[in-house]
Amino acid sequence: MQVIKPSIEIIDMEDYEKIVKKIERIGRVCYKSEGKITEDSAEKFIKGLLTRQHESVIEHENVTVRFVCDRGVTHEIVRHRIASYSQESTRYCNYSGDKFDNQITVIDLASGFQYDLSKENDKAKYEVWTKAMENAEQSYFRMLELGATPQEARSVLPNSLKTEIVVTMNLRSWRNFFRLRVDSHAHPQMREVATRLYEEFKKRLPVFVADLDIH
């Protein structure tokens, strides 16, 4: 059994300058103000759109992201309906195969829940979780040995099982995603990966998230 930390990867995101100029061109059609476009007018115009909550304009731009997380987190992600999803399938993946190093991979519980393993209670919880993951792996492989198909054997796999899901959303949907999933009330493991992505958006697409008030 392998234990890893979650991660995110932006697979497809256009150049920032191209995006803001594209959104400005589209948005100004609504106001017939194309004549006001200048070399540096795009960001100011987009800030105005977002201030007025005229967010439908930014739906014209998509960003695609790969999440490596546990299956429980993907149940949170796919609740965002205006999106496209492609996910690693436990029906077809046989984790006893060589390409999976003959083991299951799980997402570290201590990472998302911020366990302090120097504390006795956190250490005890982590040991219980680790044993449960090992038992699940043993049960999964035993099912396969008995002739079960992967889609049968997957019934014993844990929520902590590592999975990969590729998500494409438009910028308006990503803003809603961040409002809900970076918030302090979000599920800790969901917030862990959402916050990493949010920080990337702040660096790479600043005007589209700078106004978000997230606590």
Q: Report the catalytic residues.
A: 181
Nearest to 71 by CA among 176, 191, 159, 166: 159
Return d(Cα 190, Cα 180) in angstroms, integer: 10
Nearest to 170 by CA among 68, 84, 44: 84
Closest to 54 in 3D by CA, of 80, 77, 29, 17: 29
Helices (H), 59-206: 71-77, 109-112, 120-145, 150-153, 171-181, 188-204
65, amino acid identity: V
Amino acid in the structure at residue 46: I
With beta carbons less than 8 A apart as the criterion, state whether 107 and 160 touch: yes
Token pair in block for residue 166: 């590729």
